């Protein structure tokens, strides 16, 4: 892949997102970092997801998370970079034993919960 020339593809699967076909491509970088790309059928990278350490999540995101989910503790974070360069963060956590994920803009605006 041109965008990540030193990475090895570890998985690729077709999926539907909002009714459109795309491909989820998982990569492992030279240093062992894990990336996940959402790619359109024409090869355009729609979204790049990379795991980040929770300490590297912007304070505005962590403050928004704790404000919305008082008492919850995030267990994992992904930095998501869209094709237009906009960055968001998806935080994984559990509430009453149920695993959830919440996405926030890099400024702390709530986007969605899964």
Three-state secondary structure readout of 5-74:
CCCEEEEEEEEEECCEEEEEEEEECCCCCEEEEEECCCCCEEEEEEEECHHHCCHHHHHHHHHHCCCCCC
- Residue 36 and residue 21 share a domain: yes
- Residue 39 and residue 60 share a domain: no
Give the domain extent around 35: 1-46
- Residue 66 and residue 34 share a domain: no
Residue 21, pLDDT > 80, answer: yes
Q: Which residue has the tokens 């790049």?
A: 48
The pTM assigned to this predicted structure is 0.85
- Specify the DSSP class assigned to residue 106: T
Number of domains in the chain: 2
- Residue 99 and residue 58 share a domain: yes
Contact criterion met (CB below 8 Å) for 66 and 54: no
- Residue 35 and residue 64 share a domain: no
- Residue 97 and residue 71 share a domain: yes
CA atoms of 34 and 63, how far apart (whole Å):
26
- Residue 88 and residue 36 share a domain: no
Q: What is the mean pLDDT of the chain?
A: 93
Q: 49-93: per-residue pLDDT in tens?
A: 999 999 999 999 999 999 999 989 999 999 999 999 999 999 999
- Residue 24 and residue 42 share a domain: yes
């Amino acid at each position: 892949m041109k965008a990540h020339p030193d990475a090895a593809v570890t998985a690729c699967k077709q999926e539907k997102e909002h009714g459109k076909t795309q491909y989820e491509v998982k990569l492992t970088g030279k240093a062992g970092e894990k990336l996940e790309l959402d790619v359109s059928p024409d090869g355009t990278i729609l979204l790049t997801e990379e795991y980040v350490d929770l300490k590297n999540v912007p304070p505005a995101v962590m403050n928004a998370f704790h404000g919305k989910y008082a008492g919850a503790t995030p267990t994992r974070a992904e930095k998501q970079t869209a094709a237009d360069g906009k960055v968001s963060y998806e935080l994984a956590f559990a509430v009453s034993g149920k695993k959830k994920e919440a996405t926030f803009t890099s400024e702390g605006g709530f986007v969605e919960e899964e």
